[in-house]
Amino acid sequence: MSFGNKMYVSALVFCIVISVARCSGNLGFPPGFKLGVATASYQVEGAWNVSDKGESIWDRLLHTQPSLSADGSNGDVACDSYHLWRRDIEMAVELGVDMYRFSISWPRLLPSGFANYVSEDGKRYYNNLIDGLLEKGIEPVVTLYHWDLPQYLQDLGGWANPLIVDWFADYARVAYTLFGDRIKTWLTLNEPLIICDGGYNKLWAPYLDDLKVAAFLCNKNVMMAHAKAYRMYDEEFRPLYQGKVSFPNIFFWFEPETPADAEAAVLTRQMWHDRYAHPVFSQAGGWPPELEKVLLANGKREGYPYPRLPPFTQEEINYVKGTYDFYALNHYTTRLVRRVKPGEAGSWIFYGSEEINVAIVNDPSWTTAVTDWFAINPTGLRKQLHWINSTYGISDILITENGLPTFEKDLLDVNRITYIRSYLEQILLAINDGINVMGYTAWSLMDNFEWLAGYTVKYGLYDVDFTSPNRTRTPRESARYFSNLTKTRTLTDDNIYYLRNVTKNTKALKTLAIMEC
């Protein structure tokens, strides 16, 4: 298919989506709904050894094994946001966003990993970013941990060492103390599933191979670390600053491939999502009972004398339960689930599917992006929001990540516009259903270092020229679309007008002017 034809198909899909939206009810954002963008420290900051910054697990991994990233690259410079933070704020202003989610680099603020020494330069950098955003009327939303653990703490066992609960709490206390007067929304640990199942399955730093034991030790420790950081804020800092705390949970929506696979889909949701949600959000607390039973039986069959998923004591259950002020959701895609067939080898991806004997597959009717794991199914998000609300009785949900990966540098990224618009439509439909979704955060503000994909995969509303010493940022059409969205606060006719303006300047989309949607 030629480029022109691809763009025609994308434009046609977009027009169909908008036409349906015109008849689908109220698609204006409600009062108070926030639109934002997000980044993470290792992916954008660079300056990996500037001043007294400590070494992170990603620094160590990609300096010692550079071939692990798809293009042999690393985050040593990345977007150079450590030096170009003013431009980052300028882009947020251009987009007109209400909030900018970024993460603090633990080893930049605490070079040793411990609270015995706070970096003045690290503190200055984050103060500059926070104050600069607030001066422009943009709310800073801060993630304490987005995967760049100090390497020294990893040498001491990292997330498999239960002492990390205290180490993380000490770090959180420093951050709350330094920045809590201005930060009203805190996120503790980004995607615990990736921290544990990715980090101990040779897919993310620290790139270890121990899904049987260490990954499950990590499961419990991240839950306890989150709870301790939450309890500390609740008791000591909330009376002073009245902020809110949660953690972003990645949750692909899973549907059964056939009605007979309903139980498999439930168990898959428990493996992916409820390991981290059930201890915090459920009325009972603790691990999901069905999953805990399955994992215990697996361990016994394999000869382990103790549960591989460490049990919570009743005191720990009560300590972790209820440690949230809202639900933070990172959502990207939907998958189908079925039981593994006799003789079938393996399954899609790595997050424990072999433990629960399921295969995770695509619906052939869904379009995929970049790789086969990224299926585009916007209605899955609406179903997921309902499921979260009904399962846990959550009153407030914030979408903390959602976005489309591409391989192309194209500035005319109609597919990304289509993706954002269609997922936002499902959010607004869920709001009309009575689900209180507080806001939407696009991933990402700009192209950045996408972990082991290096710079080959692009999520940015802004293109970044990684060959330029200035890391030049250029708005894509999706940035212009998002800017229009933040002005109009609706998905209906004014955005159709925007798209028509695109067609006037883009030969590849000239057909849209004829179609008139």
Give, for 17, the enclosing helix (H) or strand (E): helix 3-22
d(CA 496, CA 507): 18
401 assigned to active site: yes
Torsion over CA: 373, 375, 379, 382 (sign): positive
Helix (H) or strand (E) holding 52: none
DSSP strand pairing (462-464 vs 473-475): antiparallel
Q: Tell me if residue 191 is catalytic.
A: yes
Residues 6 or more apart whose Cβ sits within 8 Å of residue 405: 369, 370, 374, 450, 457, 458, 459
Q: Is 293 exposed, middle or buried (0-12, 13-18, 19+ CB in 10 A)?
A: exposed
Q: Which residues are within 8 A (CB) of 294 and not within 5 positions of it... i.e. 6 or more apart?
A: 267, 355, 356
Pick the catalytic residue from 45, 139, 191, 355.
Answer: 191
Please tell me which residue in 139, 255, 355, 401 is annotated as part of the active site. 401
Instruction: List the one residue out of 373, 341, 368 whose CA is nearest residue 357.
Output: 341
Rounded-to-integer distance, Cα 374 and Cα 363, Å? 11
Q: Determine the Cα–Cα distance for residues 223 and 394; give it in Å rounded to an integer.
A: 19
Question: Beta strand 462-464 with 437-443: parallel, antiparallel or unpaired?
Answer: unpaired
Q: Which long-range contacts (CB under 8 A, 24 or more apart) does 355-360 make?
A: 355/271, 355/294, 355/295, 355/298, 356/264, 356/267, 356/268, 356/271, 356/291, 356/294, 357/264, 358/264, 358/267, 358/268, 360/254, 360/268, 360/335, 360/336
Catalytically active residues are 191, 401
